[in-house]
Amino acid sequence: MRMLGLTSILLAAGMAFATPASAQEPVANSATPVANSAAPAATATPAVADPTLDASGQPRTKAAPGIGQPTADAITLQEQVTPNGREAHRFHNYILLPLITAISIFVLLLLVWVIFRYRRAANPTPSRTAHNTTIEIIWTLVPVLILVAIAVPSISLLAAQFKPAPKDAITLKAIGNQWFWSYEYPDNGGIQLTANMLKEQSQVPAGTRYRTDADGPRLLATDQRVVLPVGVPIRLITTAQDVIHSWAVPAFWIKLDAVPGKLNETSFTIDKPGLYFGQCSELCGARHAYMPIAVEAVSPAEFAQWVKSKGGTMPAEVAAAAAATATATQNAAAPAAETNAAAEPAATNETAPAANAAAGNMTGK
């Protein structure tokens, strides 16, 4: 009986101690869903929308007739949207064109006058004059003056075209391939693009993207546009993978050869937002005519958003983050230094006699 009573007491005690532990389990399990539900909110990061595309994924900027592209029956150069382009346009319209016109008219009138004045009927006895000093001085001096009038502005324009880009320039690397262009943005996290020509609707299978008038003219529209900011210097670097190509956009007054194994560089600044087209301007093979260039110029804010939508970074943001990290590191190191300094025992007047006594004992010994 005593054994049975002792056993009962032990069983009752064990059940009493086991009950609280089992009662805590639902509390721990109930906390788990809270942690799991908070995890998606912490890990989810909103994607940055591409500002150059609308809600349906189509380009917002549409090609405008007469802007950044050839115009039918036009006899003038395209409207220029870079400082060098406008200077070259003025040079062409106000210096070269008047000189060419004046020389052509003068030569034409001179020929007409010689034909009628010295024809056989009007001049039966030809003159035998061999030299005329005045005429020889004139036809030597006038061409020299004409060449000087052309050389001075053209040399300054040439120097401006190859002026090195400033430090805050955005770098665009254009790589020629047979037969398409690929691009890199080294200053923006290494963004890479590949641009191919958009074909006509009759040339592609059903359901495949084809060229529309909003994309650009035939043979000039691309499936990927180069996006560049307005008002910011652009450093253009060209090279090629196979043969010599040439990156040319007439509205920018840019034509730079892309040579395999070599880097060519120039710079320009776009002043006006819009869509501008160009082509490879170096005979590079059978499909040379199918290497178009499409550049979309946007505001600096839109360009920064576009860079983020492609997973890239802006140099200013990287520099600011690095500066903030350095400042935080310095601020964190300052309290630690102060703590270490405070931990060292300071010398007081009370410890001085003890130190002097110890020194005296050592001297006495």
Q: Measured between alpha carbons, how far is 183 from 258 in angstroms, rounded to an integer?
A: 12
- pLDDT confidence of residue 102: 95
Give the count of beta carbons closer than 10 Å to the beta carbon of residue 324: 10
* Whether 183 contacts 208, CB under 8 Å: no
What torsion, rounded to 10 degrees, do the Cα atoms 167, 169, 171, 174 define?
-120
CA distances to 17, 41, 42, 182 from 29, in Å: 21, 20, 21, 54
Q: Number of H helices and number of E strands within the chain?
A: 7, 10
Beta bridge partners of 176: 181, 240
Q: Measured between alpha carbons, how far is 230 from 246 in angstroms, rounded to an integer?
A: 23
Cis amide leading into 179 (omega within 30): yes
- pLDDT confidence of residue 124: 85
- pLDDT confidence of residue 342: 58
CA distances to 20, 148, 161, 184, 267 from 238, in Å: 75, 33, 15, 10, 11
Q: Measured between alpha carbons, how far is 318 from 97 in angstroms, rounded to an integer?
A: 49
- pLDDT confidence of residue 76: 87
pLDDT tens across the length of the chain (365 residues): 444 454 555 555 555 444 444 333 333 333 333 334 344 444 444 478 889 888 888 898 999 888 999 988 888 889 999 999 999 999 999 999 999 999 999 999 999 999 998 888 888 888 887 888 998 999 999 999 999 999 999 999 999 988 899 988 999 999 999 999 999 999 999 899 999 999 999 999 988 899 999 899 999 999 999 999 999 999 999 999 999 999 999 999 999 999 999 999 999 999 999 999 999 999 999 999 999 999 999 999 999 999 999 999 988 776 666 666 767 677 777 666 566 655 555 555 554 455 455 545 444 44
* Beta strands at 191-195 and 264-269: parallel, antiparallel or unpaired: unpaired
- pLDDT confidence of residue 321: 65
Total number of residues shown for the chain: 365
Using a 10 angstrom Cβ sphere, with 0-12 exposed, 13-18 middle and 19 or more buried, the burial of residue 278 is: buried
* Predicted TM-score of the model (pTM): 0.71
Closest alpha carbon to 257 in 277, 282, 236: 282
